[in-house]
């Protein structure tokens, strides 16, 4: 939960929501509790139900069953404009024929708030997104990032207690997107509003969120803080979706133990091996290091042959085929020392992995 939550921000909950389209379940028994002032991202592959979930919160999609609460108010059947929710979509949905000021004032008009108050509120909303003085500009005379900020100002002008965002940065180029991610984080802290943010970009979700809800096939499979999600994935789906990981099928050595077998190699995990018919070792590219004489005795070791070395600017990605035939990749810093440690393709290499970083997950159901 954000420590800067304003008293006006409000928690949201979705309880046992279902959305069926004929026999197809776009949402399958979804429950979600978001605390006042919290920034929660909803992350998942295409078609996993993210937009449907946001639509149910915004009132554009009627759930087949279940309920939606804003604080202690049941809004399941409230129309969108009566929900006190600000919404920002990926295509901005600005009115091109209106000025920036008219666009930002639009929700005030729709809510029939006194016209005398508009200029002051527009000014304050534009200042919030650092567009002071842009009132009379045409939308067509703005950059993508500026348009996105106008859309934000418009969503915030009536001081909604909840803001929903659906891929709001996806139309921007990489650099601007990253700048806007940091700006959104600042804005969130400043406003203290509750934000629910849909994205399919894991870096974006990791950068901005207090918690991330991972969706797959209409269900929330895990909801946790970014580092928890990354280091303690609930199953093979989450592990494959978050971070850069190789998943290798392994065997449990003994029920209730901490060891798994990969070919002829036994690896120790700091945590008990989950009980499941099928288990996977999750190897994050950044957690594998090249073993050397100074490598501690308690580290797990994986030996193989280097097959490919790919220079990617800030890091070098190295591909390795293990003795049992499985393949993995890891990253090495692209500095002088880092490069020196990588033998050319065709040569043997041993990697070390700390038991704390030795993650074992059950197969996703
Ligand atoms: P994306 O990242 O591609 O936007 P998403 O996770 O937001 O995907 P949704 O748009 O929520 O996914 O859709 C979830 C599923 O529900 C999809 O399989 C979609 O085809 C289906 N769906 C959505 N709306 C309808 C509809 N009106 N009628 C039938 N099926 C629908």
CB 352 within 8 A of CB 289: yes
Phi and psi for 310 in degrees, rounded to 5? -120, 120
| Domain 246-362, CATH number (from 2.40.110.10, 1.20.1090.10, 2.40.50.140, 3.40.640.10) | 2.40.50.140
**Nearest-atom index, ligand 1, CA of 215:** 6
pLDDT tens-digit profile of 330-347?
A: 999 999 988 899 999 999
**Nearest-atom index, ligand 1, CA of 49:** 11
pLDDT at 8: 66
Average pLDDT, rounded, for the chain: 91
pLDDT at 1: 39
Q: Which stretches does DSSP call E strand in the chain?
A: 12-21, 24-34, 39-43, 65-70, 73-74, 85-88, 162-166, 194-199, 211-216, 219-224, 245-252, 259-262, 265-268, 279-284, 289-290, 300-311, 315-322, 327-333, 348-353, 359-362
With 60 as the cut, is the pLDDT of residue 3 above it?
A: no
> Does the domain formed by 5-230 have CATH 3.40.50.300?
yes
Does ligand 1 lie within 6 Å of residue 44's CB atom? yes
Does ligand 1 lie within 6 Å of residue 175's CB atom? no
Domain map of the chain by residue range? 5-230, 246-362
**Nearest-atom index, ligand 1, CA of 53:** 11
More confident residue, 9 or 270: 270
Sign of the CA dihedral with 298 first, then 304, 306, and 312 last:
negative
pLDDT at 91: 65
Half-sphere exposure of 335 (CA within 13 A, CB side): 2
pLDDT tens-digit profile of 73-97?
A: 999 999 988 888 888 877 667 888 8
Name the closest-CA residue to atom 31, ligand 1. Answer: 21
With 50 as the cut, is the pLDDT of residue 320 above it?
A: yes
CB 189 within 8 A of CB 130: no
Ligand 1 center to 206 CA (angstroms): 23
- CA dist 15 and 29 (Å) reads 8
Neighbours of 90 (CB within 10 A): 18
- CA dist 136 and 141 (Å) reads 10
What mean pLDDT do residues 34-57 have? 95
Phi and psi for 311 in degrees, rounded to 5? -80, 125
The best mutation among 18, 50, 57, 201 to test binding of ligand 1, ranked by most ligand atoms within 8 Å of the C-beta, falls on 50
pLDDT at 326: 97
Reduce the secondary structure of 191-213 to three states and give it as a string: HCCEEEEEECCHHHHHHHCCEEE
Phi and psi for 16 in degrees, rounded to 5? 45, 45
pLDDT-wise least confident of 24-33, 173-182, 205-214, 249-258 = 173-182
Sign of the CA dihedral with 168 first, then 156, 5, and 29 last:
negative
pLDDT tens-digit profile of 266-291?
A: 999 999 999 999 999 999 999 999 99
More confident residue, 113 or 27: 27
Helix 174-191 with 118-128: angle, nearest 10 deg: 120
**Nearest-atom index, ligand 1, CA of 19:** 16
Token reading at 18:
């279902």
pLDDT at 92: 63
Share of the chain above pLDDT 90, in %: 71
Length of the chain measured in residues: 365
pLDDT at 2: 40
């Amino acid at each position: 939960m954000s420590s800067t939550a304003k008293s006006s921000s409000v928690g949201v909950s979705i309880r046992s929501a279902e959305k069926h389209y004929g026999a197809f379940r776009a949402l399958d028994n979804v429950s979600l509790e978001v605390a006042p002032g919290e920034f929660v991202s909803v992350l998942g592959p295409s078609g996993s139900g993210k937009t449907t979930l946001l639509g149910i919160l915004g009132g554009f999609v009627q759930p087949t069953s279940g309920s939606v609460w804003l604080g202690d108010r049941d809004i399941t059947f409230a129309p969108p404009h009566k929900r006190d929710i600000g919404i920002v979509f990926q295509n901005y949905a600005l009115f091109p024929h209106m000025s920036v000021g008219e666009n930002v004032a639009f929700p005030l008009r729709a809510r029939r708030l006194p016209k005398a108050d508009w200029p002051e509120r527009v000014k304050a909303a534009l200042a919030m997104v650092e567009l002071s003085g842009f009132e009379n500009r045409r939308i067509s005379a703005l950059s993508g990032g500026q348009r996105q900020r106008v859309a934000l100002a418009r969503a915030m002008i009536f001081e909604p207690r909840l803001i929903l965002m659906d891929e709001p940065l996806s139309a921007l180029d990489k650099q601007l997107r990253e700048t806007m991610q940091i700006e959104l984080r600042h804005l969130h802290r400043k406003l203290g509003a509750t934000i629910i943010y849909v994205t399919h970009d894991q870096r974006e979700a990791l950068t901005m969120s207090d918690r991330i809800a991972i969706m797959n096939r209409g269900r929330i499979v895990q909801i946790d803080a970014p580092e928890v999600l990354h280091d303690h994935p609930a199953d093979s789906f989450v592990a494959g979706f978050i971070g850069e990981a190789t998943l290798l099928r392994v065997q449990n050595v003994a029920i209730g133990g901490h060891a798994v077998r990969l070919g002829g190699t036994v690896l120790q995990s700091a945590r008990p091996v989950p009980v499941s018919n099928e288990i996977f070792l999750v190897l994050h590219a950044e957690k594998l290091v090249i073993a050397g004489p100074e490598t501690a005795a308690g580290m797990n070791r994986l030996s193989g042959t280097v097959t490919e070395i790919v220079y990617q600017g800030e890091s070098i990605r190295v591909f390795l085929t293990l003795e049992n035939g499985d393949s993995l990749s890891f990253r090495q810093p692209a500095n002088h020392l880092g490069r020196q440690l990588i033998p050319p393709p065709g040569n043997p290499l041993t990697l070390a992995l700390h038991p704390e970083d030795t993650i074992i997950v059950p197969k996703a159901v």
